[in-house]
Amino acid sequence: MSEAARHSLPGRIARGYVRRVDAVNRRLGRIAMYLIFVLIGILLWSSFSKTFLLPSLWTLETAQFTMVAYYILGGPYSLQQGANVRMDLFYGSWTPRTKAWVDAFTVFFLLFYLVILFLGGVESTAYSLGYFGMEPFAFFRDLLVTLVTEGVGAAAEMFGHMERSPTAWRPYLWPIKTVLMIGIVMMILQALAELVRDLFRIRGEEI
């Protein structure tokens, strides 16, 4: 590869994108790793309270929410580290260039799934905040504009009847749905970063 191609503007932009997404997801993933200890603590308290005290209403759902946050926020870091599940019976014996070709093709299946998940997640998160219309993206756009221009109080007035879990504890669902959306967005960004990385490998360059 020529020096001109190596240092071209699109190449610098692509490398910068990959490095920035990698850095954010690396930090996010390392933070998410510690949620497993939070989960252990919740489950230990649940066992203790059921044995010696009155059972706590919040432990089961809090454990579920913690587990969701653990894997959805750690997913992009796992993808970055190559820890995702593959059929290594064939994949493991391929050359790095062949792996890059296959990964650059199959990542589009992942992106298709993630985009569908993102679209559904936006609608579900808007619903959890009390928006029951057909344009959730417009709702979030107006919410962001109101938050920036008029402040938190005015933005809060846009919320309707917020969705709650149909359990005895009845927690609001928008916090965990927001975490899910953050994880999905970061997974999409990481999948695109992996695609860029594979395209560079096909050309014989590592990022």
Q: Rounded distance, CA 159 to CA 137, Å?
A: 14
pTM above 0.85, yes or no: yes
Q: Is 178 within the bounds of a domain?
A: yes
**Contacts for 124 with CB less than 8 Å, ≥ 6 apart:** 177
Instruction: Give the Cβ contact number of residue 34 at 10 Å.
Output: 10
Query: What is the sign, positive or negative, of the torsion defined by CA atoms of 34, 36, 42, 44?
Result: negative
Number of domains, the chain: 1
Long-range contacts of 167-173 (CB under 8 A, 24+ apart): 167/57, 167/61, 168/57, 169/57, 169/58, 169/61, 171/58, 171/61, 171/65, 172/128, 173/128
Residue 163 has pLDDT above 70, yes or no: yes
Paired with 164 in beta bridges are 172
Burial 158-173 (b: 16+ CB within 10 A, else e): eeeeebeeeeeeeeeb
Q: Which domain holds residue 74?
A: 3-202
Q: Is 40 within the bounds of a domain?
A: yes
Q: Which of 154, 153, 171 is nearest to 162 (CA)?
A: 171
Q: What is the pLDDT of residues 126-139, one digit of tens each?
A: 999 999 999 999 99
Residue 47 has pLDDT above 60, yes or no: yes
Counting every residue written for the chain, the total comes to 207
Q: Is 29 within the bounds of a domain?
A: yes
Q: Is 207 within the bounds of a domain?
A: no
Q: What is the pLDDT of residues 84-125, one digit of tens each?
A: 766 677 777 888 899 999 999 999 999 999 999 999 999 999
Residues 38/73, Cβ–Cβ less than 8 Å: no
Q: What pLDDT is stored for residue 141 in this prediction?
A: 95
